[in-house]
């Protein structure tokens, strides 16, 4: 269904960000209720918003450094062409929010492969977190061997993120077969546990063809799944945790596996 002239693209973005007036929000919500495709698109934007918040929330709240103050930059560029000034302003905004908007600019989740990887990560999590003696193939006591073995099998250097600051310790990991119909090769699954026996898993594969960057928060079968991909690997963090506990864990995994 064609979007009404009364609803602009800017209004849709404001709807996702919760910045519309009550009346405008009702107008957009009523239209979305009549257009399943638009509703699905907006739902995807909202998941990406949550993913961006997870990755960049700490940076977004930091003050912009004085050297990047827009007034100072503008004064230094007096006489330059307007195009250069616009580029400088854009750079300031991106740095100020922790370059989170860059994720939105990249392609959205690949409809087939990414969705299948998330589903497989959730299924593998549900299967193995219930195990006691056989939850992993290689225990945390042999972590060096574990990460070397998994890195070799994935043909990608990976590590076991240190999640001690989030209250989780490494249980171990295992090698899983490639997900069906996904051209990403074998899978490494790392498992962590906290003091109250809550478990989370980190599901890692080689990058999908094209290596496009995406990020998304998903809810699958009662579990939270935080998925992200870059030009080296894909990763899905799965757990049954409150969102306020899941976000710092997912952020720590992202930062450590991308060597930030």
- Residue 137 in any domain: the answer is yes
Domain end marker among 63, 88, 105? 105
Q: Are residues 236 and 134 in the same domain?
A: yes
101 and 222 share one domain: no
Structural domain including 181 reads 113-257
pLDDT, tens only, 119-150: 999 999 999 999 988 999 999 999 999 999 99
Considering the domain architecture, whether residues 93 and 203 belong to the same structural domain is answered as: no
Report yes or no on whether pTM surpasses 0.85: no
Do residues 253 and 163 make contact, with C-beta atoms less than 8 angstroms apart?
Answer: yes
- pLDDT over 60 at 168, yes or no: yes
213-230: buried (b, 16+ CB within 10 Å) or exposed (e) per residue?
ebbbbbebeebbbbbbbb
- CB count within 10 Å of CB 79 equals 5
Instruction: Give me the torsion for CA of 154, 200, 256, 134, rounded to 10°.
Output: -40
CATH value at residue 188: 3.30.200.100
Convert the pLDDT of each residue in 60-117 to its tens digit. 555 555 555 565 556 656 545 555 444 444 444 334 433 343 343 334 444 578 888 9
H or E element that contains 130: none
């Amino acid at each position: 269904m064609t979007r009404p002239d009364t609803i602009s693209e800017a209004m849709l973005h404001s709807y996702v960000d919760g910045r519309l007036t009550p009346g405008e929000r009702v107008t957009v919500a009523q239209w979305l209720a009549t257009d399943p495709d638009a509703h699905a698109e907006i739902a995807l934007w909202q998941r990406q918003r949550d993913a961006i918040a997870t990755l960049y929330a700490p940076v977004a709240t930091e003050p912009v450094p004085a050297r990047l103050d827009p007034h100072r930059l503008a004064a230094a560029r007096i006489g330059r062409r307007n195009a250069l000034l616009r580029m400088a302003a854009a750079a300031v905004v991106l740095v100020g929010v922790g370059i989170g908007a860059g994720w939105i600019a990249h392609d959205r989740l690949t409809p087939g492969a990414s969705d299948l990887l998330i589903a497989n990560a959730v299924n593998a999590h549900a299967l193995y977190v219930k195990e006691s003696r056989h939850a992993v193939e290689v225990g945390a006591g042999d972590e060096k061997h574990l990460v070397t073995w998994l890195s070799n099998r994935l043909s990608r250097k990976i590590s076991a993120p240190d999640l001690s600051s989030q209250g989780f310790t490494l249980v171990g990991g295992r090698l899983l077969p490639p997900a069906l119909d996904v051209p990403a090769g074998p899978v490494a699954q790392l498992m962590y546990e906290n003091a109250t026996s809550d478990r989370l898993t980190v599901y890692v594969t080689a990058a999908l063809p094209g290596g496009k960057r995406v990020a998304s928060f998903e809810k699958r079968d009662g579990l939270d799944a935080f998925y992200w991909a870059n030009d080296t690997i894909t990763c899905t963090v799965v757990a049954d945790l409150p969102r306020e506990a899941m976000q710092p864990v997912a952020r720590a995994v992202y930062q450590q596996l991308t060597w930030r």
